[in-house]
């Protein structure tokens, strides 16, 4: 799990129209990890994946996979990669088994029915192997896309927005599929707009904004390091405005006017809670209950992107 598999060094991409989509990107990905790339629309996620997969040419920089250069050693690197695209273009009369076998052939690999059987079983598609693609549900079609991408036994799987536009149930289903794939040792890199998706399945998170990686860190570290905590102070009586002596705490009154919300740094040494509670008592407010919550990756992400755009 510790071996560096993908190494991206000073990678930039300027499109023909002069637009700089990637700006000096550096990133290392270890074998067997699940990395989520988060970023707003147009941040450069697809450009980055497309370069690694050999679909788009970089303007400068070097990318290697298992030590092979993605340009000079194209065949070596391409054979190590499986790519699951965003769109579902599976409106065919072919059967599940045939279409996945055919994908393997496209990579010049000789037929290996036992491998196709294993992937279909891993993805719970085995009982559908003789069904035509047209007849499958959206969720099953997505699984077929993954099976196709795994047909040539790649070591790295790219998932471009694997759950864009799917319902909550199907999203959770896909997360379970990814979790199962992890056990097979495949490195997984996914792009997503859904922060809860990164939170649910990734080991590490890279945040891309305007072509730059602004943060890359272990998911839990990131939450610990940059997260905030929220203290909800439930009151016994309605509160309509913040008393003067409490102004310095930047409290928010909740919608029902029965609670105050205080946000503080999760990692900070001094939380300010002791002083706050004393001042609340001195202001004559009567406490009912206290609830603390760790802020999610969502808040960290929004803050990071906002901060970066202000510079």
Residues that bind ligand ATP (CB under 6 A): 15, 17, 19, 21, 39, 41-47
- Least gap, CB of 142 to ligand ATP (angstroms): 17
- Nearest distance, CB of residue 42 and ligand ATP, angstroms: 4
The least distance separating ligand ATP from the CB of residue 237, rounded to whole angstroms, comes to 47
- Nearer to ligand ATP by C-beta: 38 or 186? 38
Q: Which CB atom, from 15 or from 74, has the smaller least distance to ligand ATP? A: 15
Q: Decide whether 19 or 74 has the Cβ nearer to ligand ATP.
A: 19
Residue number, 40 or 243, with CB nearest to ligand ATP: 40
Q: How far is the CB of 27 from ligand ATP (least distance, A)?
A: 15
CA nearest neighbour of 276 among 236, 228, 232: 232
To the nearest whole angstrom, how small is the minimum distance from the Cβ of residue 44 to ligand ATP? 4
Q: Judged by CB, which is closer to ligand ATP: 2, or 17?
A: 17
Q: Are 261 and 252 in contact (CB under 8 A)?
A: yes
Half-sphere exposure of 109 (CA within 13 A, CB side): 21
């Amino acid at each position: 799990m510790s071996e560096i598999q993908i190494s991206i060094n000073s990678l930039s991409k300027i499109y023909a129209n002069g637009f700089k989509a990637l700006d000096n990107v550096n990133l290392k990905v270890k074998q067997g990890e699940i990395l989520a790339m988060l970023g707003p629309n147009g941040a450069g996620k697809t450009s980055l994946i497309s370069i690694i997969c050999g679909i788009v040419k970089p303007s400068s920089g070097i990318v290697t996979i298992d030590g092979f250069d993605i340009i000079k050693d194209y065949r070596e690197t391409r054979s190590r990669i499986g790519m699951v695209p965003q769109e579902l273009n599976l409106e065919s009369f072919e059967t599940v088994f045939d279409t996945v076998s055919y994908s393997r052939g496209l990579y010049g690999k000789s037929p290996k029915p036992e491998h196709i059987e294993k992937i279909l079983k891993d993805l719970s598609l085995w009982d559908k192997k003789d069904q035509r693609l047209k007849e499958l549900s959206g969720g099953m079609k997505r699984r077929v896309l993954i099976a196709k991408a795994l047909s040539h036994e790649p070591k790295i799987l790219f998932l471009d927005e694997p759950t864009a536009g799917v319902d909550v149930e199907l999203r959770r289903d896909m997360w379970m599929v990814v979790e199962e794939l992890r056990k097979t040792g495949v490195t997984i890199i996914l792009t997503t707009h859904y922060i809860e998706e990164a939170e649910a399945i990734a080991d590490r998170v890279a945040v891309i904004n305007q072509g730059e990686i602004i943060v890359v860190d272990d998911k839990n570290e990131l939450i610990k390091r940059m997260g905030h905590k929220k203290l909800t102070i439930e009151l016994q009586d309605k509160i309509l405005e913040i008393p003067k002596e409490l102004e310095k705490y930047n409290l928010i009154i909740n919608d029902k006017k029965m609670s105050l919300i205080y946000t503080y740094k999760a990692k900070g040494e001094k939380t300010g809670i002791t002083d706050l509670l004393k001042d609340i008592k001195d202001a004559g407010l009567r406490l009912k209950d206290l609830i603390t919550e760790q802020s999610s990756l969502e808040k960290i992400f929004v803050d990071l992107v906002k901060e970066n755009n202000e510079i």
